[in-house]
Homo-oligomer: A and B are copies of this chain.
Amino acid sequence: MQQRMMSEKPSKFPATQPDGAPLKSITQVLLDRRATMRFKPDSAVPDEYLDAILSFGAQAPSGYNLQPWRFIVVRDEQNRRRLRRAAMNQAKVAEAPVVIIAVGVKSDLEQRADQVLREGARRGAGKFEDVEGAKRGAMTFLSFIPLNAWLNRHTMIAVTAMMLVAESYGFDTAPMEGFDPSAVKREFGIPAEEEVVALLAIGRAEKPEKAYPGRFPLEQIVFSERYGAPWQGRR
């Protein structure tokens, strides 16, 4: 029997917030969550929480299960200062105890496709005789789609899952796109051909957080059946 290379679902993870409070529901998270502007410099994300946030983020779905993402966990103080300089000098980057650099990876997609499809077949999620065809299908699909858009699309599913899990555990977060991708690549050894998609800072917010700016009403962003057709809401 061939060895399985893929991991199972997370089995050990904190059941409560660090102070023992219950996890926030996702509805509460989406009511409370703000893009934190300033983090308490003395806050911390305990290792078992960071591990859970990363493990749950890794459960995100992806086309053909290719999981085209990598995450650099930056905790070292000097590195956070280096990252801050590559990120428009935003104070929060150095203040947050953890910043995750999310990278979309396109350099080994065919090898990954082979690996995930074969293991999928071993696990009953596909058939061995279909692996080659599925791999060709995946590669054909990827050859037609702008890869930078595809990498952003996928990586943000995992980043969003991490953000919401972290908030559910009571932490505050800030997703960021204000950075110089070339500088981030240079400072953190990321190959030039990969795509820096976002930064995700995790910690404890310095309160109060800034005022809620509101959202466009659903009637302006949701359509019924056809683009531009007014959303009727509850029928």
Residue numbers of A with Cβ under 8 A of B are 4-10, 13, 23, 25-27, 29-31, 33, 35, 47-48, 51-52, 54-56, 58-61, 63, 65, 67, 69-76, 79, 103, 116, 119-120, 123-126, 141, 145-146, 148-154, 156-157, 159-161, 164-165, 168, 175, 177-178, 188-191, 195, 197-198, 210-218, 221-229, 231, 233-235
Name A116's closest neighbour in chain B (CB-CB).
B213
Q: Decide: B47 and A234 in contact? CB cutoff 8 A.
A: yes
A30 to B165, CA, bound (A): 9
Report B-chain residues with C-beta under 8 Å of the C-beta of A10.
Answer: 27, 30-31
Report A172 CB to chain B, min CB distance, Å. Answer: 12
**How many copies of this protein are present in the complex?**
2
Please judge, given known A-B contacts A23-B26, A26-B164, A125-B213, whether A227 and B149 are in contact too, CB under 8 Å: no
**Contact yes or no, B213 A71, CB < 8 A:** no
- Indicate if the CB atoms of B214 and A119 lie closer than 8 Å: yes
User: Cα distance A7–B218 when bound, in Å?
Assistant: 8
Closest to A57 in B: B30
Structural contact, A55 and B156, CB atoms closer than 8 A: no
For the complex with contacts A73-B222, A189-B227, 17 further pairs of A-B residues with Cβ separation under 8 Å are: A7-B214, A10-B30, A25-B26, A27-B52, A51-B218, A58-B218, A63-B177, A67-B216, A69-B221, A72-B223, A76-B225, A123-B214, A150-B152, A153-B156, A156-B160, A160-B160, A188-B226
| With contact pairs A23-B25, A30-B161, A175-B157 given, residues A216 and B103 touching in the complex (Cβ less than 8 Å) | no
List 3 A-B pairs, minimum CB-CB distance, nearest first.
Answer: A6-B214, A124-B211, A160-B160
State how many angstroms separate the Cβ of A38 from the closest Cβ of chain B.
14
Residues of B with C-beta under 8 A to A177 = 63, 145, 150, 153
Q: How far, in angstroms, from A56 to B160 measured CA to CA in the complex?
A: 13
Q: A31-B59, A157-B156 are in contact. Are A67 and B6 (CB under 8 A)?
A: no
Q: Indicate if the CB atoms of B125 and A212 lie closer than 8 Å.
A: yes
- A120 shortest CB reach to chain B, Å: 4
Q: Could you say which residues of chain B place their CB within 8 Å of the CB of A25?
A: 23, 25-26, 168
